[in-house]
Structure 1
Amino acid sequence: MVSSIPVLESSLATPKVRIIKSDQLWEWLGAGWKDLWRAPAVSIPYGLLFVIMGYALIYLATARFHFILALTAGFMLVGPFLAMGLYDVSRRLEVGKTPTLGLALTAWRHNMLPILLFGLLIGVLMIVWVRLAALLFAVSFRDLTVDTSVSALFFSGGGLTFLMILTMVGAIIAALVFAISVVSIPMMLDRKIDFVTAVLTSLTAVRANPGPMALWAVLIVIFTGIGLLTFYIGVAIALPLIGHASWHAYKDLVEDDQIEAQPY
């Protein structure tokens, strides 16, 4: 039985992706939960930054309810990138080093250019998503006023159609972001690797493990959704849990013997 596959068949220098079982997902969550409470003074404040960010987005979009929906969904798109500091916390705990909030917030410096390029890609996808949401809203509600937007969204045929289309478009973009980021971001933080190889490794991990990765994506949506439904308060716990668990997902999915490690 094949236990791993190379990212590029013609190259011996690229990483290999392991074939995993769905049972391992629960091990990732368990390990993530342990990491959260091994470094609560870092993980929870880091999560609270996302709570503050969520409230700031709501405040900025108060006059346009449909933008709140788009930005809330977009929160899930940028989450894997913004959770980079949590990967650094788990990385340090793994080797017995002490994580700090300052180190977590500046973790991107370990591999600046590839991480910056990935951030730009995520930023472009976020802009595309918000513009598409605005376009769909404009087409669906040509004569809608701000005062009637909420009721029209949830209690009219046009509103329900808009929400269904928005959900489908958002799911497609979210699936793309998940596929390119599920292991690429922690990998760029952990190893001296370029942006393209990291993204190809992430895509290969999803292709090699379609069932477990689909379930992992669903679990991420569920935990993040619970955090958002508690008016962002639950994000302070949900996001660190998923962030730490994602580190352990990367370590299980990618063989790293061929790649030089980043310094701490």
Structure 2
Amino acid sequence: MANFHVIGGATERLAHPTINKIHTADLIDSLRLGVADFWEKPSHMVLLALIYPAVAIVLTVWASGYYTWPLLYPLLGGFALIGPFAAIGLYEISRRREQGLDTSWHHAFAVLHSPAIGSIFAVAVLLFVVFTLWLTAAQALYETLFGAAPPMTIDVMLQQILTTPQGWTLIIVGNLIGLVFAIVTLCTTVVAFPLLLDRDVGAAAAVETSFRAVIKNPLQMALWGLIVAIGLVLGSIPLFVGLAVIIPIFGHATWHLYRKLIEPEVATMPAQRARSTKPGKIA
């Protein structure tokens, strides 16, 4: 039964939240609200937000010392794949602020006491599997084009990539493969973690709802993914320091995007009142 709770949620039936149709203005408004959340109490985001720059710097040093330069770009790009899980504390802060509750930084860790914590970790495992597959695919592509021996310096690697036909093949094909992994991540998690924080629906319903949200709003979700990708790139340019601002803003904005995408849960009514109430819409 515990395993079913993780996959199927707290109820006997799998939840089927209603999906709303959104517009580009909703994306802009979500970003605006995300900025407002961040600036309301930016100090409580420092610990969480600096994880990204710190890890990025560590990975850079590690790659330099062990001559694994070909994986440096996939590692940095892979942060976008695990970002939805890493930002879960930010969703919680936005949720509490929405309800008028205290939003001190330690409340970001309140998710550990969520009744849906098992489902949250289940979806997180899915993300880390995708992340691992991305690194494996990137390494396999490089070795197919240049062989198993890694370049000894970054200068050699850049020369390989920028001045040879194999290098341009690596750039084009590698980014196309990365795009596929990014789309998979977007489809499976765009609202999964905020939904699990808001309702104990189970991992299966959270992932399925994310897919339905993308299918119902393909252009808006594609634009949202592009906005996030551009923001992460811009935040990474100044030695990753910009991520300390970009990550919290996107984290908060994702919560507000979830609110726009998913119809609020309707409280259960007594049977006699339910019979006299018109049925709600179904996505």
- Counterpart residue number, 1:150: 158
Query: Which residue matches 1:59?
Result: 61
Aligned partner (choices 122, 126, 150) of residue 117 of structure 1 = 122
**Equivalent position of 1:3 in the other structure:** none
For structure 1, list consecutive stretches of 5 or more residues without a partner in the other structure.
1-10
Q: Secondary structure at the match of 2:239?
A: coil
Distance 1:153 1:105 in 2: 42
CA radius of gyration, larger in:
2
- Deviates most, 82-91 or 61-70: 61-70
- Corresponding position: 1:31 with 2:33: yes
Quick one: which of 203, 207, 210 aligns to 1:195?
A: 203
Runs of 5+ in structure 2 lacking a partner?
1-12, 269-283
1:135 corresponding residue in structure 2: 140
Contact 1:93 1:99 in 2 (8 A): yes
Residue 254 of structure 2 is aligned to residue 246 of structure 1:
yes
Counterpart of 2:92 in structure 1 is 88
Deviation at 1:256, TM superposition (A): 2.8
Q: Tell me what 2:82 maps to.
A: 78
- Offset, 1:258: 4.2
CA RMSD of aligned residues (A): 1.7
- Asked if 1:105 is matched to 2:113, the reply is no
TM, length-normalised to structure 2: 0.84
Shift in Å, 1:81: 1.0
Residues 147-166 of structure 1: per-residue CA shift (max 9 Å, x gap): 31122122322111111111
Shift of 1:101: 2.6
Provide TM-score, normalisation by structure 1. 0.90
CA-to-aligned-CA distance 1:83-137 (integer Å, 9 cap, x gap): 0011011111111112233221352431211011111111111111111111111
Distance (whole Å) between structure 2 residues aligned to residue 105 and residue 158 of structure 1:
46
Q: Counterpart in 2 of 1:186?
A: 194
For residues 16-72 of structure 1, give each alpha carbon's deviation from its aligned partner in whole angstroms, at most 9, with x where no partner exists: 000111111110010000000112111233211211111122222222211111101
1:12 to 1:70, Cα distance in 2 relative to 1, 3 A: closer
Matched residue count = 250
Answer yes or no: is the 8 Å Cα contact 1:14–1:258 preserved in 2. Answer: no
Query: How many percent identity over aligned positions?
Result: 29
Whether contact under 8 Å (1:191, 1:259) holds in the other structure is: no
